[in-house]
Structures are given as structure tokens and as C-alpha cells.
Amino acid sequence: MTIKLTGVWKTFGEGHTAVDALRNIDLVSPQGEFTVILGPSGSGKTTLLNLVGAIDESTKGSIEVDGVELENLDVDGQVKYRRESVGFIFQFFNLIPTLTAAENVELVADLTMSDGADRTVEVLEQVGLGDRMHHFPSQLSGGEQQRVAIARALVKRPSILLCDEPTGELDFETGRMILGLLKRVSTEQGQTVLLVTHNAAIGDIADRVLRLRSGEIVADGRNETPLDAGALTW
């Protein structure tokens, strides 16, 4: 799926307290592109991700995904879009503590498919958790929990993967492993990926690197030869 943002603004608050989180963003991300968005805190990275994921709405401008303008979707349309097209991966994993790894994934799988259980096993094996799928989150390490979160995002075969600081809570080795996993599965499945991070080094694995500052894109570069995640260091 191609993501296209045209003149997008996002303002929080009103009057004197108004803050522009995003200012006049223009961006096109074609299908299968792996984009890393870098920037300091408050630069608007997460806001951008939330707008593309339709869990927030822009103040001005247009966001199109495969020609569909997200602003025109009603609440049910937004739910359908998120359910069918978007996979979210959060910094703090956000797993349901009372469900096992498999159940966390199956919960989402059941939303879109009848063979949810089979697909769950498949995707958990894909992220390397075939032998840990019946463990509860509290019985998993941070890296394992994030892999469950990735499996949960991938299980419904979304066209877009939105990753908000997916390695922010992980140690270096685990973070590198997670990035490798994300890069591998998104390449295999042809997903468009937007990954937000503070860590500039992660930009080396991306097809494209955007830099945001105070809500504006201040740099937009491409990697002709992206690194393999295993070669990353920071």
C-alpha cells in the first residue's frame, strides 16, 4: 500500500496554548518501503505514526492510503482500516497479561480470519516463539514479549506496519534481533513499514530515513545499500 501525506498539520490545544506537532508534512511512501523516522522528543514522530494508523486525526491536510482518504472514514471505517490494513508495534509491547502469547496473537487473528489459530502458530514460529507460545507475558523476557507484539501485528497480514520505538525497552542484542526480524518479515511480505526511533543508527537498515524536527521534515534521505540488522552497532 502506498501512503501519501499532503500538507498535513496536527495541532494540539487551542489559542495561546496551541502547539503544532506536525507542520505541513508532504510524504509519499510506496508499497514495500522500509522507512525509519528519526528525531528528538517532541519532534512529531509518534504523531505522524498515529495519523497514518488512524488512531488520531489530522487538523489539516490529507492522508491517503491506496487512494483512500483517511479523513473521510467514519468510526467504523477507521476500525475496518486498522483491522485489515495496519499492524501496530508499541514500545511497551502492550500485551494482555491474562492471555498467553498465542492467545494475544489469536485475539487479533480472530478479528479478520476464520483460521486464526493455525495462522497464530505459523506467525509465532515465524518470529521464533514456537516453543514459548503458551507462556503468559509475565513468563517472557522483554525481547520475547516484543516478538509476540510483532507476531500480533503480522498475524492479520497488514499492508502497513507502524512501529513506535520497538527497541526502546530492549537491550542492544535483543533490539538488533528484533530489527532483523522486522526487516526480514516485512521484506518477505512486502509491507510498507514506518519505524519511529530516537536511535540514528537504526536508520542504516532502512530504505529511507526521514528526520523530523519541531514537526517538520528537515531531511529525507535514501540508503542505496541498507545494512543487514546484524551489522548494526550503537
Size of the site for other proteins (CB under 8 A): 40
**Per CB under 8 A, 227 contacts other proteins:** no
* Strand locations in the chain (E): 3-12, 19-29, 34-38, 60-65, 68-69, 86-89, 160-164, 192-197, 208-213, 216-222
Q: Could you tell me whether strands 34-38 and 208-213 are parallel, antiparallel, or unpaired per DSSP bridges?
A: parallel
CB of 231 to other proteins, least distance (A): 30
**Per CB under 8 A, 113 contacts other proteins:** no
Do 160 and 3 form a contact (C-beta atoms < 8 A)? yes
CB of 27 to other proteins, least distance (A): 19
Closest to other proteins by CB, 133 vs 229, is 133
The DSSP annotation for 171-216 comes to: -HHHHHHHHHHHHHHHHHHT-EEEEEES-GGGGGGSSEEEEEETTE
CB of 202 to other proteins, least distance (A): 18
CB of 229 to other proteins, least distance (A): 24
Closest to other proteins by CB, 127 vs 229, is 127
**Per CB under 8 A, 79 contacts other proteins:** yes
Report residue 187: phi and psi, to 5°. Answer: -70, -45
**Per CB under 8 A, 187 contacts other proteins:** no
**Per CB under 8 A, 86 contacts other proteins:** yes
CB of 226 to other proteins, least distance (A): 27
Sheet architecture: strand order including 216-222:
86-89, 160-164, 192-197, 34-38, 208-213, 216-222
User: How far apart, in Å, are the Cα atoms of 167 and each of 2, 119, 160, 183?
Assistant: 25, 25, 18, 13
Closest to other proteins by CB, 117 vs 227, is 117
**Per CB under 8 A, 43 contacts other proteins:** no
Q: Which residues bind other proteins (CB under 8 A)?
A: 46-47, 50, 53, 55-56, 76, 79-84, 86-88, 90-92, 94, 96-100, 103, 106-108, 110-112, 136-139, 152-153, 156, 164
